[in-house]
Amino acid sequence: MKVEVVSQVDELKQEEVKNRTVIVIDVLRASSTIVTALAQGVAEVIPVETIGQARHFLGEQYLLAGERYGKKIGGFPFSNSPTEMCSAPLKGNCLVLTTTNGTRAIQKSLKAEAILIGSFLNGKSCADLALRFRRDLTLLCAGSRQKFALEDGLAAGYILSLILSQHPEVCTNDLGQAMFAAYEFHKDHLTKTLQETATGKRLLSAGNLADIEYAAQKDLYSFVPILKEESLIIHSPIQEHA
């Protein structure tokens, strides 16, 4: 098994997608928002690339959420905030989400054998499921503003560390090695480190400390969102044989 870590969505090559499992990682905040929404009982999350595509879903059974460059989209009831999902009336509804980088990373990964959503919140479950799939793996860091985002790299390093703890023979690329080392260095003070990243600083200036603190929690949830058709749902073991 090979594990490639990709620095940001615009660096993704199709050979890093085809015949592989891809875990899309956008810690601050799309991945954390998706995981939390599903944990809070939303039936499905529909990731779309553009605001216009999201607005096509306007209707009673759909809730719209999203942001552009960290700011809530006008007319949308929800932003791209995991803590907001904790108190939103999600149960049984469908959430349509569009974000600057996270949902775009999902769209660029569509030729993968499986697309999973990863974060600190569900890192162990991501590692376990990727190993069960027995395919080469790409950890796609969504990034921020066309640049690498350290928080995504650290989550990739966390997932990689869990894989290596079970299978030390797994091969990774140079960025994977660097992110594994970075995670090992920062793992005991993730909340502080996430506040010091470029994305974290922007969120802090906008008054979103709660989202950073929440997203820095490891393994709060024991499930993995997986893309089926056009929707993200909670993975079921039955789907491994579908």
pLDDT digits (tens, 9 = 90+) for 137-159: 999 999 999 999 999 999 999 99
**Domains in the chain: how many in total?**
1
Assess if residue 15 is contained within a domain.
Answer: yes
The whole-number pLDDT of residue 242 equals 47
The whole-number pLDDT of residue 129 equals 98
The CATH number linked to 82 is 3.90.1560.10
Average pLDDT, the chain: 95
pLDDT digits (tens, 9 = 90+) for 91-127: 999 999 999 999 999 999 999 999 999 999 999 999 9
Question: In which domain, by residue range, is 134 found?
Answer: 2-235
Count of other CB atoms within 10 angstroms of residue 73: 19
pLDDT band at 59 (very low <50, low <70, confident <90, very high): confident
pLDDT digits (tens, 9 = 90+) for 36-49: 999 999 999 999 99
Q: Is 48 exposed, middle or buried (0-12, 13-18, 19+ CB in 10 A)?
A: buried
DSSP string spanning 18-34?
Answer: BTSEEEEE-TTTHHHHH
Assess if residue 241 is contained within a domain.
Answer: no
